[in-house]
Structure 1
Amino acid sequence: MTTRQEPSLFEKIRKADEEGNEFWSARELAKVLEYTEYRYFKAVIERAKEACKNSEQSVSDHFGDMHDMIELGKGAKRKSENVKLSRYACYLIVQNADPAKEVVALGQTYFAVQTRLQEIRQMEEYKNLPGENEKRVFLRSEVARHNLLLADSARIAGVVEPIDYAVFQNHGYMGLYGGLDAKAIHERKELKKSQHILDHMGSSELAANLFRTTQTDDKLRRENITGKQKANKTHFEVGQKVRQTIQELGGTMPENLPSAESIKRLAKENDPKPIRKR
């Protein structure tokens, strides 16, 4: 007879809003992570938001302000600030929380495993997508999400400041695009200054960048790479390997692929609704 596994602490506090979207309460997560006072936990949330921003994710899609009503006794209530967190917001928070706490390590494992399971489910969805536009929207979202994870790995490796992260990202581009950095790719694709490179990639080019991102993330973590120079070198070498694979398969080099129309309009039509602020 199989014994039913007890849900994890983090699964127990997972909630769903009226539209069925999962979320976590920052105040409840703070208690689970053994922060005695919420004011100390707010600093962790701010660091997680900064990591989210550095990875080119929309902070408002993952961190939504909301309020709770707290009982004060004798029927009195007080409005208390709180934050509605997505799964990825929680992942960033546990990566920025106090590593000395055993429960934080449990949280890192839980959200990493759940992220991987979600990836597998999503790749099954990708196989069934009907056309190029749908694949572009899906892959653009995946690249943005994995850039978030890569930003965290880079931070652990020692790439902390925004300018350092920009250099780190350029090394990945240069490896994949035959020495072209982000600015040079922009010029090669004849994009305007306000247009983001990733928003104008077709599905093949997005897939190559997704592979570059995921493999660099895995390598940084697996080999415990530390130091900005080593992290940059790793990103460049992974980009080169992806480029070499494309060449061996007889594919078109990414810098020679044509620019596609902006994905932002397509994303609005296909993306699920972001977390709503209350």
Structure 2
Amino acid sequence: MADIEKYSEATFENIRHTNEYGQEFWYARELQQALEYSQWRRFEETIERAKTACLQSENSIEDHFANVGKMVSIGSGAQREIDDIMLSRYACYLIVMNGDPRKQIIAVGQTYFAVKTRQQELVDNYDQLTEDQKRLAIRDEIKRHNKSLAEAAQMAGVETSLDYATFQNYGYMGLYGGLKAQDIKRRKGLKKSQDILDHMGSTELAANLFRATQTDEKLRRENVQGKDAANRTHYEVGAKVRQTIAELGGTMPEDLPTPEKSVKQLAREQEKQLKK
């Protein structure tokens, strides 16, 4: 599992792009290098097999494989245009499933894109999910948004790891009626090393997702500057989410039950099912 996380961050996540509509995509030329294909011609053969699989699945090739031109440097400041393809996550999944099975990175890519594709399916069909599936989907969203929140906090002046831990505590205190992370862990019976977010039900996770996204947007929108101001902003947003829960007659997050299985346990079980 550690290898998969390592490669997904360093190899696949780092070459993921987002267009102006918020849609993610990968460039085939970059994926070729990531999957260790030295020749474009050989990689094109894999792409063609993936396109065939796409058609056989009754999906439109144009929706997942978009031909584009790309300018590359050829030395002395000169450039020339080469063919490239914008790939959807599903297209990448089909490519790695049709790749050279002898390559270790192909095996890692198969697991990575299979899991990510399944997670997106869960998000797209949220109303039909079980509680465990909702937890997996929301937790994945929080991971993505926490990266953006960390960036916004850093821009505001939250620089060190200790600063960020303090910043996060202010958000928790606002949402949990004054409880810090360590207090929440104590209530949940967790160890210091365990991640609070991995031990929340879907309702509690959703409240924390809203806290994170709204704090992120507020920090950026109002160009908040200074650690104290950032901490105060996070606390205020958390408190506002708590107030909204109270006004709707909901259960306070600290009073919600702690699930028996962690999100990490659920993810491992899901991964085993995908491999089967």
Q: TM-score under structure 1 normalisation?
A: 0.55
Q: Quickly say closer, same or farther: Cα 1:271–1:142, change in 2 above 3 A.
A: farther
Counterpart amino acid of residue 225 in structure 1: V
Q: How far apart are residue 122 of structure 1 and its match?
A: 7.2
Q: Which residue of 2 aligns with 1:256?
A: 255
Ranges in structure 2 where 5+ consecutive residues have no aligned partner: 1-18, 36-45, 51-63, 65-69, 78-119
Q: Is the 8 A contact 2:136 2:266 kept in 1?
A: yes
Q: Quickly say closer, same or farther: Cα 1:182–1:12, change in 2 above 3 A.
A: closer
Q: Which residue of 1 aligns with 2:27?
A: 14
Query: In 1, Cα distance between the equivalents of 2:193 and 2:230?
Result: 28
Query: In 1, Cα distance between the equivalents of 2:138 and 2:226?
Result: 30
Deviations 1:44-83 (A, max 9, x none): xxxxxxxxxxxxxxxxxxxxxxxxxxxxxxxxxxxxxxxx
Q: How far apart are residue 269 of structure 1 and its match?
A: 3.1
Q: What is the percent sequence identity of the aligned residues?
A: 57
Query: In 2, Cα distance between the equivalents of 1:245 and 1:225?
Result: 23
| Aligned-CA RMSD value | 3.7
Ranges in structure 1 where 5+ consecutive residues have no aligned partner: 1-6, 23-27, 37-119, 273-278
Q: Is the 8 A contact 1:146 1:213 kept in 2?
A: yes
Q: Quickly say closer, same or farther: Cα 1:13–1:239, change in 2 above 3 A.
A: closer
Q: Which residue of 1 aligns with 2:265?
A: 265
Q: Quickly say closer, same or farther: Cα 1:137–1:271, change in 2 above 3 A.
A: farther
Q: How far apart are residue 152 of structure 1 and its match?
A: 0.4
Mapping for residues 149-228 of structure 1, pairs under 5 Å: 149-228=148-227
Q: Kindly name which structure, 1 or 2, has the bigger radius of gyration based on alpha carbons.
A: 2
Query: In 2, Cα distance between the equivalents of 1:124 and 1:186?
Result: 31
Mapping for residues 91-106 of structure 1, pairs under 5 Å: none
Counterpart amino acid of residue 254 in structure 2: E
Aligned length: 175
Is structure 2 residue 245 aligned with structure 1 residue 246?
yes
Is structure 2 residue 147 aligned with structure 1 residue 134?
no
Q: How far apart are residue 242 of structure 1 and its match?
A: 0.4
Q: Is the 8 A contact 2:123 2:137 kept in 1?
A: no
Counterpart amino acid of residue 159 in structure 1: V
Q: Is the 8 A contact 1:200 1:263 kept in 2?
A: yes
Query: In 2, Cα distance between the equivalents of 1:217 and 1:128?
Result: 29
Report which of the two has the higher share of helix.
2
Q: Is the 8 A contact 1:137 1:270 kept in 2?
A: no
Q: TM-score under structure 2 normalisation?
A: 0.56
Q: Quickly say closer, same or farther: Cα 1:245–1:193, change in 2 above 3 A.
A: same
Query: In 2, Cα distance between the equivalents of 1:227 and 1:186?
Result: 28
Q: Quickly say closer, same or farther: Cα 1:12–1:136, change in 2 above 3 A.
A: closer
Counterpart amino acid of residue 270 in structure 1: Q
Query: In 2, Cα distance between the equivalents of 1:178 and 1:215?
Result: 18
